[in-house]
Amino acid sequence: MAKKLYIGSLSYTTTNDSLKAAFEQVGAVSSASVIMDKMTGRSRGFGFVEMPNDDEATKAVEVWNGKELDGRALVVNEARPMAERPPRREGFSRSF
């Protein structure tokens, strides 16, 4: 079963391709994505890597957690499922 890894403390210069290339040093990578801010188009400093082999994913955590990529020490661990969030309020009204 595939394992999704959370990658934190990414440099703003890290791209999807460079993140994928770094983790391919440890094993096969299904996908790698750096999360971008919608307003600025700049990296939010974290991303996700999905690896099809659980053993390689575990090894990637051991190898990359605390190791430097693009000048920043990474935080790497298994991604947790997204928690339920309350619905957003629609619109904004102000009384004068």
CATH for 3-78 (3.30.1330.20, 2.60.40.10, 3.30.70.330, 3.40.50.720): 3.30.70.330
First-residue to last-residue Cα distance in the chain:
56
Helix axes 16-23, 54-64, angle to 10 degrees: 100
Task: Tell whether the torsion through CA atoms of 23, 24, 27 and 30 is positive or negative.
Answer: positive
Give the per-residue pLDDT at 11: 96
Domain locations in the chain as residue ranges: 3-78
Give the per-residue pLDDT at 31: 97
Give pTM, 2 decimals.
Answer: 0.85
Q: Note down pLDDT in tens along the chain; length 96 residues.
A: 789 999 999 999 999 999 999 999 999 999 999 999 999 999 999 999 999 999 999 999 999 999 999 999 999 999 998 888 788 777 666 665
